[in-house]
Amino acid sequence: MVEQELAAPEAGTEEQAARPRQNFYQRHESFLLGGSAVVITLAVWQAFWSAGKISPLFFSGPSAIAARFWDSLLHGQLLSDLEYSGANYAIGLVLAIFTGIVLGVIVGWYRRVEMILGPFLTALYATPRLAMMPLIIIWFGIEMKSKVFIVFLSAVFPVLINTIGGIRAIDRDLLRAARAFCASDWQIFTTLAIPGSVPYILTGIRQGVSLGLIGVVVGEMFGGSKGIGYIVNYGGQTFATDTVFMGVLIIAFAGIALTAVTERLERHFSRWRPER
Amino acid sequence: MVKLAIEHLTKRYWRGAREVLALSDVCLSVEDGEFLAIVGPSGCGKTTMLNIVAGLLPYEQGVVSIDGQCVQGPGIDRAVVFQHSSLLPWRTIAGNVRYGMELQKRFNKERMLERTEYFIKLVGLAGFERHYPSELSGGMQQRVNLARALAADPKVLLMDEPFAALDAQTREFMQAELLKIWAQAQKTVMFITHQINEAIYLADRVVVMSARPGRVKDVFRIPFGRPRTLHLKRDPQFLEIEDAIWQLVEEKPERIGMVV
């Protein structure tokens, strides 16, 4: 009798293996369609640009942007600008993740702490943190410290709020089972609250990663004379549309790469979840 | 010898402004090594009673004792198998079976490893140690739940409608499996269910409870020897007992048969 029931999962895997093999196109359909769309868009754009139909005052072309990129990379300050922005971003983000998780665990676990800090967190969370940039410049000046701080301030809230939610969301059935096995509060904290909140924390980090990116770009637009945000801002003020596009594309690629890394991280930590 | 004794247990709780009498003067006892089943319509307080015995709910009137020791809160002398498998989704099967022992800190590392392996084998899940609960069927998850409870080596095993969420066929398999496992594990069991034939098939005695307030209506001694096979459910004497219990239960059959 047991065998019948246990045999079920194996039957499932056999079925999967028996599925007809897909050809090259079927296996890579999403990548091929998306890739072609990008290539065609670029080609059409370049064609209009080469034909002189696009005014460089308002827009730019792929070849001009690429040329600007090479030039800035080889002869300009681009590398040191990237380094500067990258450092601002990395320091701010790491501080935000660390603070967000530690504070979130404390606030989530102790109800009274949540009651006390609640109003402040809600108010700060609801405020667009970028609106505080002028104030941050008054506090920290226009150098690195203020950029790091705005990245921190942008990224810390999603991590914090999600961590609090994760610690709170202990499954009632699991809690009852743990209690029945004489679990202490500390055991419930370490075996249920912490592991249970990992997916929430990762969601918070993913949001923090993209909000932090906005933070570093906008932060560098306010004052200072370095960084990718500064390049975009300066390019705009001098009608150097190719420079603006170069900056925007660099930021876009950074965003895509960072999202891919965090998604990879999320997958790694949720192996136990049912496959969707 | 009496293992678990419940004497004059009365439990009230508040639902909004209304006071509900969940259990009224319940008296029953479970012998050492006995399999006791409790049946009754939903709302008869059988789960409340199990929660009190498990130490998860406080009680004000009456006495609940195991080996003469008054029950106050959860203890290592009891383990519960819940209706929902309540497994930690991020732990493997082996990790889940170990979980109860880990919390109770009764065994050292080597003993925990041995026992984990032994009880996984006992419930028929050898080879699934490193799977996650989401990869298992409902019936298999309940086996893990049972293994976790048995591995903690309780004196009394409390089972709260453990097969209620399973489909009819899996449920029958699991009943037969439970009897096999129980024969090997030698535990005192208090088994809550709303299925009358499940109770008769499994138990040495069946306690019938009535609803609102929950109290003991009658106790049936089940005369069949062991081991029992599923064919027993079609035995005329079995059906006779089933009929008698049906008539005792006040609620309409449709309501009781409903899976909660």
Do A81 and A154 belong together in one domain?
yes
- Does residue B71 sit at the A interface (CB-CB below 8 Å)? no
Percent of the residues in chain A that have a pLDDT greater than 70, as a whole number = 92
Total number of domains constituting chain A: 2
**CB of B58 less than 8 A from some CB of A:** no
Residues with Cβ within 8 Å of A182's Cβ and at least 6 positions away in sequence, in order, are: B74, B75, B76, B103, B104
Report the residue from B89, B136, B173 with minimal CB separation from A2: B173
Residues A224 and A204 in one domain: yes
pLDDT score of A12: 41
Q: State how beta strands B215-221 and B205-210 pair.
A: antiparallel
Would an 8 Å CB–CB cutoff place B215 in contact with chain A? no
Specify the DSSP element, H or E, that contains A47: helix A29-50
CA–CA gap between residue B80 and residue A3 (Å, rounded): 26
Residues of chain A neighbouring B141 (CB-CB closer than 8 A): none
Cα angle: B159, vertex B51, A177; to 5 degrees: 70
**Among candidate residues B192, B161, B204, the one with its CA nearest the CA of residue B31:** B204
Residue A106 makes CB contacts below 8 A (sequence gap 6+) with: A113
CB-closest option in A9, A174, A272 to B86: A174
Cβ proximity of A241 and A58 under 8 Å: yes
Q: Which domains does chain B have, with CATH numbers?
A: 1-71+158-163+170-182+189-260 (3.40.50.300), 78-153 (no CATH)
What type of residue is B166? L
CATH number at residue A182: 1.10.3720.10
CB within 8 Å: A187 and B55 = no
- By mean pLDDT, which of A219-233, B12-26, B242-256 is the weakest? B242-256
Q: Return d(Cα A172, Cα B82) in angstroms, integer.
A: 12
B164 Cβ neighbours under 8 A, 6+ residues apart: B83, B193, B194, B195, B259, B260
Indicate the SS3 state at residue B4: strand
Give residue B227's pLDDT: 87
Contact B132 A177 (CB under 8 A): no
Dist CA B103 CA B85 (whole Å): 17
Contact at 8 Å (CB) between B11 and B180?
no
A125 and A13 part of one domain: no
**Chain B: residue whose CA lies nearest to A192:** B88
Nearest CA in chain A to B139: A5
Tens digits of per-residue pLDDT, B125-163?
989 999 999 999 888 999 999 999 999 989 999 999 999
- Residues B53, B6: contact at Cβ < 8 Å? yes
Structure ipTM over 0.85, yes or no: yes
**Cβ-based contacts of A192 with chain B (< 8 Å):** 88
Which residues in chain B touch residue A4, judged by CB atoms under 8 angstroms apart? 173
Phi, psi of A53 (to 5 degrees): -80, -10
* Residue A150 within a domain: yes
> Using a CB-CB distance cutoff of 8 angstroms, which residues of chain A are in contact with residue B104?
181-182
Tell me which residues of chain B, numbers 107 to 166, contact chain A at a CB-CB cutoff of 8 Å.
124-125, 132-137, 139-140, 152
Residue A34 corresponds to which tokens in the numbers above? 């998306």
- The alpha carbon torsion through B149, B150, B151, B153 (nearest 10 deg) reads 100
Query: For position B250, what pLDDT does the model report?
Result: 62
pLDDT of B254 reads 46
Structure tokens at B27: 């008296």
Let me know whether A159 and A250 are in one domain: yes
> Do A69 and A201 reside in the same domain of the chain?
yes
Distance CA(B147)–CA(A182), nearest Å, equals: 17
- Residue B188 and residue B32 in contact, taking contact as beta carbons nearer than 8 Å: yes
Identity of the residue in A6, A173, A187 whose CB atom sits nearest the CB atom of B103: A187
Give a yes or no: residue A167 inside a domain: yes
Instruction: Give residue A20's identity as a one-letter amino acid code.
Output: P
Domain range for A76: 62-269
pLDDT in tens, A51-68: 988 888 888 889 989 999
What does chain A come to in residues? 276
**CB-based contact, A271 to chain B, within 8 Å:** yes
Which residue type does B154 have?
A: P
Instruction: Kindly state whether residue A276 falls inside one of the protein's structural domains.
Output: no
